[in-house]
């Protein structure tokens, strides 16, 4: 009884894997033409994106196993929700590939391996969003993680990169181990690892208590770890700071999206019956996550670390729709927010990369950036506003509205209020950053307008190496996307549904 | 108590005991060796639970490959061969509490959930290489393929991390 | 679909862009700002006039789908409640823009400030015009960042740290409030299934009593932080005293109105909840009146004094709102507009004083402004007298009608409670008189103790005269807003 | 055989693994702790598989995959440990603090200083 | 015609401010012309109302919506308003003329004359308004004009503080008035005065409502007309230019209170409580202020207290329902008090001080002033044949009537006190007269010999003196104001005249006995108490002003310390929480792992215990 394979359903991750292998081989074959690997991987992502878009609007499942007695269940399901996750992940992956472009082309990082690892990890992320049994899910999660470890440590001569990789690795594998323990307990309690049977077993009350409860909690640990939910958030700042900035961006978006997708599947498909229990659990986690994230960011001066903490806080917001019960509308809200977050967060990381390319990493180094480099600084400012959820970053605001709406519709008024307070706390540091960006140089305050511009150029003189075109490109398209979405926020939702 | 049960208890005690030594030994190499004992005892457990194929894979991969890797790593990091006094961090007490708490939680929930439940082993050939192979390629193709990606990625990752490049060599 | 309101909202935005593009040419940019401001002002009168002709419904409506997934429509329109506020916004923005033509801000570049004023104008008009809760919310939030920049970057040139703190405090408080407000909006949507402002009042019956109270409280907190309702006023004095003149003008004249407008508009959607919460709002309003007046009485900084006086005046508006009667709504709306104009004038005058003597501390200003700059002193005296509610000037009708409304609140409210509120508010009005005459005595009168300063310039007269004229016009001809149809139009809301 | 036998053994192993991961400083030892945890899980899986007589052998299959994944993890993990050793000359997990969140921020400097 | 009165004054005022600075001569001219036009208009109205027997006429139909009862922007002229209008515009015209000389060369003349014009217009609005709120507009505009005019010399501390005191005190009363209007409107279902009066007459207002309304209106009246307990602002308003004092005391401001009570007398009539209170306030004020006048050592202050006392007469009459008597006295008082102030201004202008101890012996150097002021004092003292005699007699007559039949207690109270105060009045009038014009020149005042004022000042005085002489005939004319004046009560007349003469005589005797020193010295230890006005200001200060100041300072401290502390506390607690979060992320990966494990286990335990089962 060999399983039938629906190739259309697995085409996007498959194209990523193929592109990954091709990139590796191409780079091995023509090591001097470093740009090849990037082109291959970009092509792979675009092809995957094409498959995803063309395969929308029809649910496909494959890798099914039937045994007569039990209802048919499948390991792989591609429906609207999955497609939307794929869309988000693939867009983000494409952006990350572009962000890595220069590092690969310049030889700073090994091109073939780099692109291979990114695409392999992304393929895992895609698989997470489609997985319908815990084994596939777990393996897919590991497919996301393992290449990511290597990516974080890719700058081998860098002490901080190595340290970051080790920390990321250790915390991650412990989380995975806990998750595995949880899976084993769910399996023990229900006798299955597939969504349908597990859910049926729980619904019929046959699942063994309290093993199923403990198993449920432990199962989501690795997912929570990916999402960076409290108490699994501690690795985030250290890892992001130590990793190459595009990789940090990858972790903050694609890896996080994989965690959210997995979490959605586990909670909604497997544990729907326990919605009351886990909704409180996720709600508390969301509240803690956003609070800790915002507090952690409050006094940061290091750009990437600030963005890291901010991504923890954003993870808290992202958890809210799940806490609200993970109904289809909630998932829509979650994905809309995730898409918004993916776009603007990568803008921010791209800008951070640009700043880092001048050898700067401190907030104070960004003084007046929006004036001296309107393109980079302005985009960063806009991204911060979107993250803060304040107009003119309307897209961020609308996404937050969707989050709030989930909470309110799910009768989680308390959580909505906490989100509100956190949005306000978050403002403090986003605005501090923003203020630095637009701050005129000291001379501008004293002198008449127009004179200051020259002094600012001096301020940046000597460090003003050209920003790589790929980085500028990423900044440009993400900014354009954010602006367009701000004017027509409806597109945000139509993109994912 | 049947023979199988007695054997299982013995194997279990062996596994736990050697694991404890892994946890407490002050000699790095000893730790690795005690780990081998634990893994071996567990392989025995698998056998007793009729998971034949898993047991052999355990022996081959874990005892054969992983432990060797660990020993190599110990050597490459120039780990001292003898006793190392400060092998434990200041976190010991917390770690002990965490470990005990974990065990306690698990035991309590297992006892509450499975008290009096018995396994009947050996009725069918569930754990045989053939059966497992058939299910893997019959029902679990997808994760299997994914695992191959994982392994490849790990391989590439390990290589890319370990490879010395020209620039570094020049340093 | 581009309707008239889109034009009125879009013009200032377009103006802001043009100004930014012209930012190298300082004065030209300022003139361009004035041009766009004038066009907007002219445009804003049209729908206002239409509301008077119209039977009391919404005019200049536009309605297209905006965010389908969230059930949000791009719905705009004005009625007799919002149209005057739009005109007020356009008028005050125009005055600010004119004021910027000849006088550059004391720190920061002028084109940026001009652009921000235009953005603020656009966003405020959008807030008043929004007929969809989420569109309202978006515009409501859009106001914040520009104002934050105005305070943080163009504020008090002597205190960069303090002005940023004040700006952030303002922003954080308001955002917290608006988040609560949003929760209220979403609760409304959850129970009624619509964000449509025109629909919601008729669907109040679908909302349970407990939810209504909750929503009413959320609105009270949310809008209250903006107004600000008494214990939430802590951000106001700092924000005002650190803001540049145009910032203070718009903050007091327009932004505070967003809060009272919101309460007026949206409490109608939860009548049962509003009835429960209204007495508390009334009490807070009255406390604000007395507290603000007392704070003014011992104040040594003129700008802070005016800021606290706003707390008091907003107290009257809140008292009127809390009566839940048509009379109260009318009173609140009138008081809104009147306070906007008068306080704007006060801030302009105090800003002019600051331009000349470099401080707003009473001790630093010195005495006898009547002698040192007669017109400036007279302008301050006029604005102060208008502010203290002299009959025949705009401020009176708002205060009087508020107290009148409190004399006969809605049937479901305790009349005796409101009569007590009315009496306390009256005493607050006396205290208001007291602190203004004390301030006049301290600043305008006396023996000149230092040099004369430049008197009001022609450009300043141009910027201020519409305000003076409005104060007189509304005072002498209150029918402009209180014609016989205005009450019935507001009645149509329920 | 009582199902609890393997479960208790695995619980103990997992707890010991946790202790090793949390208490041991040497990175390789920490990896050993992780192995202990994974093996505990495997024992669970195998035991449950035997108990359920699972047609799909989910437990055993997962156990196999875990072994594979564990091998991959160890391989990659050891590579990372070697990189750390190469850059730090030690592999004490609790002694890698360069990325600690400890730079004392000074908001004034950020807000007010000119460069 | 009604609009002509208002607009001429307002337009003149606006022009004066707008173009007055171009030429020194313009503002006086504008002021006089404006007042003249208004006066002509008023006289025409008066002729229509009294002479041609026209019925009350309303103009204006505008309505201001309030969401409840509408406010009607309506003016209505009847005989009472016509009389008041003529009085106000006449005095205003005379004051404008007088000021031309009195304030010649004052740089603030434009605003001065403008405010006098607005002041007059506001009074005209008060008397012509047919809607409570329109009346209120005039009422309060008067208040602010008086504030500005009192502080005309704002470089002088007494002027500043007097103005503040006047404004705040009257405003305190006005709030009561406003509430009274609310009550009236609600009770009568309209804000139109004519309809309210009709409703009161028709019994549509219950006694309960009437009491509440009347008491609240009384607050405003007491404030505006400077009756106890809000009486103390009027004497302190004396630092204002003297013509302004004449205007305030004779024809506007303080008269408005009496006018309002007269207007709303039907409402007051429904409430015995209000009438009793009014009578009590009137009597108390009458006596107290007369005593203060007796001891005051500032000429204008004497006159100010005399105003308070005379107003109390009017209120006393009104409290007995004596509408005609009250109004008569108001009009006659308007004439002679204006005269007195203008004459006092002339004196002050000549000697450069307001203090009685800086005057003396001026009858030779200022003959015209002497004669006119003597007439004024005689009228004040109620000596025949001057106008004050007749009107005061009318008041006492009403009291006697009521004492005989009607509200006996109230009647007797007013009668006794009225007669007593008649004596006090003539005593202080005589004292002031003596101290100003007789005896030696006192004090250290100007070295320049006092001289008679210009005819621009004397002219108005002469006119008013003439009115004071012949006015008696007018006010006792039967049918005046549409009410039948009562015939003189001979016994009351004789008694009060005797008492008045006695008061004057005692004063003269003391003057002689003390060798032409202040007769008030005869009061002995009572004098300082009275001169300090029974320390009423200190009492108010201790009970109201200082506690308010404390409250204000407390509020400010609360804002600066408490609120700031809490807000700052939120701020810094956030910062500390941020530090805590950062401290927990100390870079130790094992600590992170510990958090992962313990967090997971803890949640699992919780769920396992309480969770899905």
Q: Tens digit of pLDDT for each residue in A385-423?
A: 999 988 888 899 999 999 999 999 988 999 999 999 999
Confirm if C396 and C482 have CB atoms less than 8 A apart: no
Q: Which residue has the tokens 């007298």?
A: C385
Coil/strand/helix, residue A77: strand
Question: Chain D neighbours among A 113-142 (CB < 8 Å)?
Answer: 133-135, 138-139, 142
Contacting residues of B for E591, CB less than 8 Å apart: 91
- List the Cα angle E159/E162/E166 in 5-degree steps: 135
- Return the C-alpha torsion angle A108, A109, A111, A113, nearest 10: 160
Highest-pLDDT range among A335-349, C426-440, E547-561: A335-349
Claim: this prediction has a pTM higher than 0.80: yes
Q: Does C105 have pLDDT greater than 50?
A: yes
Model confidence at A484, pLDDT cuts 50, 70, 90, reads very high
Distance CA D7, CA A176 (A): 19
| First-residue to last-residue Cα distance in chain E | 92
- Residue A2's pLDDT is 60
Q: Tens digit of pLDDT for each residue in A261-270?
A: 999 999 999 9
Minimal C-alpha gap between E576 and chain D (Å)? 13
Are D67 and B62 in contact (CB < 8 Å)?
Answer: yes
- Residue C353's pLDDT is 87
Are A405 and C70 in contact (CB < 8 Å)?
Answer: yes
Can you state the percent helix, strand and coil of chain C, rounding each to 5? 75, 5, 20
- From A157, A165, A213, residue closest to B168, measured CB to CB: A157
Confirm if D87 and A159 have CB atoms less than 8 A apart: yes
Which value does ipTM take for this structure?
0.88
- Residue C92's pLDDT is 92
Model confidence at E527, pLDDT cuts 50, 70, 90, reads confident
Contacting residues of D for C161, CB less than 8 Å apart: 108, 111-112
Distance CA A472, CA A452 (A): 25
Distance CA E423, CA E83 (A): 29
- Touch between chain C and chain B (3+ CB pairs, < 8 Å)? no
Q: Which two tokens stand for residue E357?
A: 């101890």
In this prediction, residues B3-32 reach a mean pLDDT of 91
Q: Provide the angle, in degrees to the nearest 10, between the axes of the packed helices A159-190 and A235-242.
A: 140
Q: Is C260 on the interface with E (CB under 8 A)?
A: no
Q: How many other C-beta atoms lie within 10 A of the C-beta of residue C256?
A: 24
| Average confidence score pLDDT of chain C | 87
Contacting residues of A for E611, CB less than 8 Å apart: 210, 213, 216, 274, 277
In this prediction, residues C12-23 reach a mean pLDDT of 87
Coil/strand/helix, residue D56: coil
Which residue, A354, A375, A118, is CA-closest to A247?
Answer: A118
- From E585, E586, E597, residue closest to D22, measured CB to CB: E597
Distance CA A265, CA A258 (A): 11
Coil/strand/helix, residue C61: strand
Q: Does C54 have pLDDT greater than 90?
A: no
- List the Cα angle E381/E386/E388 in 5-degree steps: 50
Q: Is A158 on the interface with D (CB under 8 A)?
A: yes
Confirm if E73 and E67 have CB atoms less than 8 A apart: no
Contacting residues of B for E598, CB less than 8 Å apart: 98, 101
Confirm if A330 and A283 have CB atoms less than 8 A apart: no
In this prediction, residues E569-591 reach a mean pLDDT of 85
More confident residue, D18 or E431: D18
Are B105 and E598 in contact (CB < 8 Å)?
Answer: no
In this prediction, residues E147-160 reach a mean pLDDT of 85
Q: Does E61 have pLDDT greater than 80?
A: no
CB contacts < 8 A, A to C, total: 123
- Residue C326's pLDDT is 84
Model confidence at D93, pLDDT cuts 50, 70, 90, reads confident
Q: Tens digit of pLDDT for each residue in E373-429?
A: 888 888 888 887 788 888 888 888 888 888 777 777 888 888 888 888 888 888 888
- Residue E474's pLDDT is 65
| Average confidence score pLDDT of chain A | 87
Strands (E), A239-372: none
Distance CA D72, CA D80 (A): 12
Are E186 and C446 in contact (CB < 8 Å)?
Answer: no
- Residue B123's pLDDT is 59
Q: Tens digit of pLDDT for each residue in D56-92?
A: 788 888 999 999 999 999 999 999 998 888 888 888 8
Lowest-pLDDT choice from A471-480, D11-20, E477-486? E477-486
Model confidence at D96, pLDDT cuts 50, 70, 90, reads confident
Which residue, E84, E85, E97, is CA-closest to E34?
Answer: E97
Q: Which two tokens stand for residue E59?
A: 């103009």
Q: Is C160 on the interface with D (CB under 8 A)?
A: yes
Q: Does D103 have pLDDT greater than 60?
A: no
Q: Which two tokens stand for residue A481?
A: 């996307």
Model confidence at C26, pLDDT cuts 50, 70, 90, reads confident
Coil/strand/helix, residue E76: strand
Confirm if E588 and D25 have CB atoms less than 8 A apart: no
Distance CA B17, CA E10 (A): 107
Distance CA E245, CA E225 (A): 13
Q: How many other C-beta atoms lie within 10 A of the C-beta of residue C63?
A: 17
Q: Does A301 have pLDDT greater than 80?
A: yes
Q: Which residue has the tokens 């004083």?
A: C353
User: Bridge partners of E77?
Assistant: E57
More confident residue, E528 or C262: C262
Which residue, C174, C301, C360, is CA-closest to E559?
Answer: C301
Are C160 and D108 in contact (CB < 8 Å)?
Answer: no
Q: Tens digit of pLDDT for each residue in E172-227?
A: 888 899 899 988 888 888 888 888 888 888 888 888 888 888 889 988 888 888 88
Are E147 and C437 in contact (CB < 8 Å)?
Answer: yes
Burial class (CB in 10 A: 0-12, 13-18, 19+), E535: exposed
- From E582, E587, E590, residue closest to D99, measured CB to CB: E587
Minimal C-alpha gap between B7 and chain E (Å)? 31
In this prediction, residues E552-561 reach a mean pLDDT of 84
Confirm if E268 and E261 have CB atoms less than 8 A apart: yes
In this prediction, residues C307-319 reach a mean pLDDT of 91
Q: Is E449 on the interface with A (CB under 8 A)?
A: no
Q: What φ, ψ does residue C11 adopt, rounded to 5°?
A: -55, -55
Distance CA B131, CA D50 (A): 13
| First-residue to last-residue Cα distance in chain A | 35
Coil/strand/helix, residue A68: coil
Q: Which two tokens stand for residue C413?
A: 């409210």
Name the DSSP letter for residue B62.
I
Coil/strand/helix, residue A7: helix
More confident residue, E485 or C386: C386
Q: How many other C-beta atoms lie within 10 A of the C-beta of residue E52?
A: 7
- Residue E449's pLDDT is 66
- Residue C45's pLDDT is 87
**Nearest chain C residue (CA) to E552:** C294
Q: What φ, ψ does residue E459 adopt, rounded to 5°?
A: -55, -55
> How many residues comprise chain E?
613
In this prediction, residues C331-345 reach a mean pLDDT of 91
Q: pLDDT above 70 covers what percent of chain C?
A: 97
Minimal C-alpha gap between D91 and chain A (Å)? 10
Model confidence at E444, pLDDT cuts 50, 70, 90, reads low
Q: Does E483 have pLDDT greater than 70?
A: no
Q: How many other C-beta atoms lie within 10 A of the C-beta of residue E482?
A: 14
Which residue, E175, E161, E247, E168, is CA-closest to E218?
Answer: E175
| Average confidence score pLDDT of chain E | 82
Q: Tens digit of pLDDT for each residue in A208-230?
A: 888 898 999 999 999 999 999 98
Q: Does A433 have pLDDT greater than 50?
A: yes
More confident residue, E491 or A258: A258
Q: How many other C-beta atoms lie within 10 A of the C-beta of residue A54?
A: 11
Q: Does A453 have pLDDT greater than 50?
A: no
- Residue A418's pLDDT is 93
Q: Tens digit of pLDDT for each residue in A308-334?
A: 999 999 999 999 999 998 899 899 999
Lowest-pLDDT choice from A197-201, B100-104, E459-463? E459-463
Q: Is D74 on the interface with E (CB under 8 A)?
A: no
Q: How many other C-beta atoms lie within 10 A of the C-beta of residue A47?
A: 18
Minimal C-alpha gap between E577 and chain D (Å)? 14
Confirm if B42 and D46 have CB atoms less than 8 A apart: no
Chain C contact probe: residue of D108, D110, D111 with most C CBs at under 10 A: D111
Distance CA A334, CA A330 (A): 6
In this prediction, residues C387-409 reach a mean pLDDT of 88
Minimal C-alpha gap between D86 and chain A (Å)? 8
Contacting residues of A for D48, CB less than 8 Å apart: 184, 187-188, 191
Model confidence at B122, pLDDT cuts 50, 70, 90, reads low
Confirm if E574 and A298 have CB atoms less than 8 A apart: yes
Cis before A231 (ω within 30):
yes
Coil/strand/helix, residue B72: helix
Coil/strand/helix, residue C64: strand
For β-strands C59-67 and A73-78, DSSP reports them as: unpaired
Q: Does B167 have pLDDT greater than 60?
A: no
Highest-pLDDT range among A461-470, C334-343, E200-209: C334-343
- Residue C494's pLDDT is 38
- Residue C480's pLDDT is 80
Which residue, E92, E84, E8, is CA-closest to E50?
Answer: E84
Which residue, A266, A270, A267, A268, is CA-closest to A207?
Answer: A270
Distance CA E30, CA E26 (A): 6
Which residue, D15, D8, A178, D57, is CA-closest to B117?
Answer: D8
Q: Does A92 have pLDDT greater than 50?
A: yes
User: Bridge partners of E31?
Assistant: none
Distance CA A186, CA A215 (A): 5
Q: What φ, ψ does residue E454 adopt, rounded to 5°?
A: -75, 165
- Residue C487's pLDDT is 56
Which residue, E466, E460, E461, is CA-closest to E97?
Answer: E460
A335-363 burial: b if 16+ Cβ within 10 Å, else e = bbbbbbbbbbbbbbbbbbbbbbbbebbbb
Q: What φ, ψ does residue A63 adopt, rounded to 5°?
A: 55, 50
**Nearest chain C residue (CA) to E70:** C484
Q: Does D106 have pLDDT greater than 50?
A: no
Highest-pLDDT range among B63-77, C301-315, E61-75, E568-582: C301-315
Q: Which residue has the tokens 């809490």?
A: E566
- Residue A390's pLDDT is 87
Distance CA C347, CA B6 (A): 91
- Residue D112's pLDDT is 38
Q: Is E596 on the interface with B (CB under 8 A)?
A: no
CB contacts < 8 A, D to E, total: 35
Model confidence at A125, pLDDT cuts 50, 70, 90, reads very high
Which residue, D76, B153, B159, is CA-closest to A118?
Answer: B153
């Amino acid at each position: 009884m060999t399983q039938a394979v629906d190739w259309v359903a697995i085409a996007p991750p498959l194209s990523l894997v193929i592109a990954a292998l091709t990139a590796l081989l191409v780079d091995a074959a023509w090591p001097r033409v470093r740009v090849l690997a990037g082109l291959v991987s970009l092509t792979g992502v675009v092809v995957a994106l094409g498959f995803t878009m063309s395969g929308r609007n029809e649910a496909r499942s494959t890798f099914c196993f039937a045994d007569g007695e039990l209802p048919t269940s499948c390991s792989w399901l591609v429906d609207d929700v999955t497609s939307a996750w794929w869309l988000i992940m693939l867009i983000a992956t494409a952006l990350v590939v572009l962000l890595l472009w220069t590092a690969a082309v310049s030889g700073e990082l090994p091109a073939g391996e780099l692109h291979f690892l990114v695409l392999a990890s992304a393929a895992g992320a895609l698989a997470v969003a489609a997985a319908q049994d815990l084994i596939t899910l777990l393996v897919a999660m590991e497919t996301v993680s393992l290449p990511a470890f290597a990516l974080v440590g890719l700058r081998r001569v860098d002490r901080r990169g190595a340290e970051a990789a080790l920390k990321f690795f250790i915390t991650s594998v412990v989380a995975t181990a806990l998750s595995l323990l949880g899976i084993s307990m769910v399996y023990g309690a229900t006798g299955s690892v597939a969504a349908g049977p597990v859910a049926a077993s729980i619904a019929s009350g046959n699942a063994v208590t309290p093993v199923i409860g403990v198993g449920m909690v432990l199962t989501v640990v690795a997912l929570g770890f990916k999402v960076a939910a409290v108490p699994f958030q501690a690795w985030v700042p250290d890892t992001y700071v130590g990793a190459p900035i595009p990789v940090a961006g990858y972790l903050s978006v694609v890896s996080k999206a994989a965690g959210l997708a997995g979490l959605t599947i586990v909670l909604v498909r497997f544990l729907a019956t326990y919605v009351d229990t886990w909704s409180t659990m996720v709600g508390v986690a969301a509240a803690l996550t956003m609070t800790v994230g915002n507090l952690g960011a409050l006094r940061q001066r290091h750009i990437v670390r600030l963005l890291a903490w901010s991504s923890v806080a954003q993870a808290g917001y992202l958890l809210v729709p799940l806490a609200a019960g993970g109904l289809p509308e909630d998932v829509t809200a979650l994905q809309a927010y995730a898409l918004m977050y993916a776009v603007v967060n990568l803008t921010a990381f791209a800008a951070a990369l640009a700043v880092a390319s001048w050898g700067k990493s401190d907030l104070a180094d960004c003084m007046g950036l929006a004036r001296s480099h309107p393109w980079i600084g302005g985009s960063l400012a806009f991204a911060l506003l979107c993250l803060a959820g304040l107009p003119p970053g309307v897209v961020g605001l609308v996404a937050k509205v969707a989050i709030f709406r989930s909470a309110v519709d799910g009768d989680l008024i308390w959580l909505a209020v906490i989100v509100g307070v956190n949005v306000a706390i978050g403002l403090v540091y986003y605005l501090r950053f923003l203020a630095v960006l637009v701050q005129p140089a000291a001379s501008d305050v004293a002198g008449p307008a127009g004179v200051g511009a020259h002094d600012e150029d001096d301020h940046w003189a000597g460090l003003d190496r050209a920003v790589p075109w790929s980085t500028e490109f990423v900044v440009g398209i993400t900014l354009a996307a954010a602006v367009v979405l701000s004017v027509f926020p409806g597109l945000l939702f139509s993109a994912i549904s | 108590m049947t023979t199988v049960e007695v054997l299982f208890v013995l194997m279990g005690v062996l596994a736990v005991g050697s694991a404890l030594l892994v946890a407490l030994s002050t000699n790095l190499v000893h730790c690795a060796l005690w780990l081998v004992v634990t893994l071996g005892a567990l392989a025995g457990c698998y056998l007793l639970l009729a998971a034949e194929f898993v047991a052999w894979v355990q022996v081959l991969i874990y005892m054969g490959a992983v432990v060797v890797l660990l020993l190599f790593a110990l050597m490459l990091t120039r780990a001292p061969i003898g006793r190392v006094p400060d092998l434990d961090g200041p976190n010991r007490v917390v770690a002990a509490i965490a470990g005990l708490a974990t065990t306690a939680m698990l035991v309590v929930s297992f006892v509450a959930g499975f008290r009096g439940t018995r396994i009947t082993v050996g009725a069918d050939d569930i754990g045989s290489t053939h059966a497992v192979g058939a299910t893997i390629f019959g029902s679990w193709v997808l994760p299997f393929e994914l695992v191959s990606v994982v392994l490849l990625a790990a391989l590439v990752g390990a290589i890319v991390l370990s490879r010395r490049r020209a620039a570094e060599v020049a340093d | 679909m581009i309707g008239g309101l889109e034009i009125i909202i879009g013009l200032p935005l377009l103006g802001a862009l043009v100004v930014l593009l012209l930012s190298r040419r300082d004065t030209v940019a300022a003139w361009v700002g004035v041009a766009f401001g004038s066009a907007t002002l002219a445009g804003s009168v049209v729908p206002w006039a239409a509301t008077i002709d119209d039977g009391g419904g919404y005019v200049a409506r536009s309605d297209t789908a905006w965010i389908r997934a969230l059930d949000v429509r791009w719905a705009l329109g004005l009625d007799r409640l919002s149209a005057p506020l739009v005109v007020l916004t356009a008028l005050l923005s125009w005055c600010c823009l004119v004021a910027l033509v000849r006088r550059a801000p004391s720190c920061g570049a002028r084109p940026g400030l001009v652009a921000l004023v235009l953005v603020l104008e656009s966003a405020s008009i959008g807030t008043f015009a929004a007929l969809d809760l989420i569109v309202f919310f978006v515009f409501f939030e859009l106001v914040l960042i520009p104002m934050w920049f105005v305070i943080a970057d163009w504020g008090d040139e002597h205190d960069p740290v303090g002005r940023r703190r004040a700006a952030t405090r303002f922003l954080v408080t308001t955002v917290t409030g608006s988040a609560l407000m949003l929760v209220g909006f979403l609760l409304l949507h959850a129970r009624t299934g619509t964000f449509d402002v025109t629909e919601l009042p008729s669907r109040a019956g679908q909302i349970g009593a407990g939810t209504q109270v909750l929503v009413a409280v959320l609105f009270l907190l949310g809008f209250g932080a903006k107004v600000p309702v008494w214990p939430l006023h802590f951000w106001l004095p700092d924000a005002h005293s650190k803001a540049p003149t145009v910032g203070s003008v718009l903050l007091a004249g327009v932004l505070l109105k967003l809060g009272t407008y919101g309460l007026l508009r949206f409490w109608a959607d939860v009548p049962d909840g509003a009835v429960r919460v209204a007495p508390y709002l009334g009490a807070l309003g009255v406390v604000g009146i007395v507290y603000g007046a007392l704070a003014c009485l011992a104040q040594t900084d003129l700008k802070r004094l005016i800021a606290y006086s706003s707390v008091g005046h907003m107290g009257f508006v809140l008292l009127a709102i809390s009566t839940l009667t048509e009379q109260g709504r009318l009173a609140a709306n009138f008081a809104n507009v009147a306070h906007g104009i008068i306080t704007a004038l006060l801030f302009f005058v105090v800003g002019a004083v600051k331009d000349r003597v470099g401080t707003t501390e009473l001790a630093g200003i010195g005495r006898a402004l009547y002698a040192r700059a007669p017109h400036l002193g007279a302008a301050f005296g006029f604005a102060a007298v208008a502010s203290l509610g002299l009959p025949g000037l705009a401020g009176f009708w708002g205060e009087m009608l508020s107290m009148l409304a409190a004399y006969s609140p809605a049937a479901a409210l305790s009349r005796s409670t409101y009569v007590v509120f009315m009496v306390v508010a009256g005493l607050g009005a006396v205290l208001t008189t007291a602190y203004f005459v004390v301030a006049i005595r301290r600043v305008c009168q006396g023996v000149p103790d230092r040099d004369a300063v430049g008197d009001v310039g022609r450009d300043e007269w141009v910027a201020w005269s519409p305000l003076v004229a409005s104060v007189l016009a509304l005072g002498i001809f209150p029918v402009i807003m209180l014609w016989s149809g205005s009450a019935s139009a507001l009645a149509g809301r329920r | 055989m009582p199902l609890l036998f393997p479960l208790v053994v695995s619980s103990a192993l997992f707890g010991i693994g946790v202790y090793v991961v949390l208490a041991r400083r040497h990175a390789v030892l920490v990896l050993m702790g992780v192995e202990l945890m994974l093996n505990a899980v495997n024992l669970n899986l195998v035991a449950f598989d035997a108990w359920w007589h699972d047609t799909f052998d989910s437990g055993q299959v997962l156990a196999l995959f875990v072994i594979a994944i564990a091998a991959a993890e160890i391989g990659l993990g050891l590579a990372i440990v070697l990189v750390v050793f190469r850059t730090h000359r030690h592999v004490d997990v609790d002694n890698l603090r360069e990325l600690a969140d400890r730079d004392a921020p000074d908001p004034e400097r950020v807000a007010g200083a000119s460069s | 015609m009604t609009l002509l009165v208002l607009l001429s004054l307002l337009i003149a005022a606006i022009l004066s401010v707008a173009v007055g600075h171009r030429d020194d001569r313009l503002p006086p001219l504008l002021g006089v012309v404006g007042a003249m036009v208004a006066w002509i208009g008023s006289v025409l109205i008066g002729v229509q109302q009294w002479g041609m027997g026209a019925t009350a006429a309303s103009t204006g139909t505008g309505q201001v919506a309030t969401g409840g009862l509408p406010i009607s922007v309506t003016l209505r002229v009847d005989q009472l308003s016509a009389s008041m209008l003529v009085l106000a515009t006449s005095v205003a015209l005379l004051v404008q003329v007088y000021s031309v000389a009195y304030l010649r060369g004052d740089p603030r003349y434009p605003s001065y004359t403008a405010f006098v014009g607005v002041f007059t217009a506001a009074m005209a609005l008060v008397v012509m308004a047919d809607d409570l709120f329109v009346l209120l507009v005039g009422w309060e505009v008067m208040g602010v004009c008086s504030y500005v005019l009192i502080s005309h010399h704002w470089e002088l501390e007494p002027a500043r503080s007097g103005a503040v005191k006047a404004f705040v005190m009257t405003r305190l009363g006005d709030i009561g008035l406003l509430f009274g209007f609310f009550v009236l409107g609600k009770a009568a279902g309209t804000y139109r005065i004519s309809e309210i009066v009709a409703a009161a007459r028709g019994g549509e207002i219950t006694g309960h409502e009437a009491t509440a309304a009347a008491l609240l209106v009384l607050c405003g009246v007491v404030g505006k007309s400077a009756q106890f307990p809000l009486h103390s602002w009027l004497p302190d308003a004396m630092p204002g230019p003297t013509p302004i004092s004449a205007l305030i005391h004779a024809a506007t401001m303080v008269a408005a209170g009496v006018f309002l009570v007269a207007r709303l007398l039907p409402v007051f009539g429904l409430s015995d409580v209000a009438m009793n209170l009014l009578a009590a306030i009137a009597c108390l004020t009458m006596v107290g202020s007369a005593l203060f006048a007796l001891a005051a050592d500032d000429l204008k202050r004497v006159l100010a207290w005399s105003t308070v006392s005379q107003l109390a007469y009017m209120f006393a009459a009104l409290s007995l329902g004596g509408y005609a008597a009250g109004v008569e006295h108001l009009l006659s008082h308007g004439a002679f008090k204006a005269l007195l102030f203008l004459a006092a201004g002339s004196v002050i202008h000549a000697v450069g001080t307001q203090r009685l101890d800086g005057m003396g012996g001026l009858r030779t150097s200022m003959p015209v002033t002497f004669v006119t002021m003597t007439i004024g004092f005689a009228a004040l003292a109620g000596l025949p044949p001057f106008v004050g005699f007749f009107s005061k007699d009318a008041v006492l007559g009403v009291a006697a009537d009521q004492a005989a039949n009607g509200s006996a207690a109230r009647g007797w109270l007013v009668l006794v006190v009225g007669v007593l105060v008649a004596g006090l009045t003539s005593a202080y009038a005589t004292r002031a007269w003596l101290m100003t014009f007789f005896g030696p020149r006192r004090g250290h005042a100007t070295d320049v010999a006092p001289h008679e004022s210009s005819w621009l000042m004397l002219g108005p005085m002469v006119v008013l003196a003439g009115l004071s002489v012949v006015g008696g005939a007018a006010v006792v004319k039967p049918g005046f104001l549409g009410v039948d004046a009562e015939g003189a009560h001979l016994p009351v007349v004789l008694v009060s005249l005797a008492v008045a003469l006695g008061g004057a005589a005692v004063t003269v005797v003391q003057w002689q006995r003390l060798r032409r020193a202040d007769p008030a010295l005869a009061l002995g230890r009572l004098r300082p108490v009275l001169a300090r006005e029974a320390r009423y200001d200190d009492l108010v200060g201790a009970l109201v002003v200082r506690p308010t100041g404390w409250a204000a300072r407390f509020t400010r401290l609360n804002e600066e310390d408490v609120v700031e502390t809490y807000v700052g506390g939120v701020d810094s607690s956030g910062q500390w929480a941020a530090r805590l979060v950062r401290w927990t992320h100390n870079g130790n990966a094992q600590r992170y792992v510990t958090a992962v494990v313990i967090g997971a286990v803890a949640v699992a335990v919780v769920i396992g215990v309480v969770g899905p089962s």
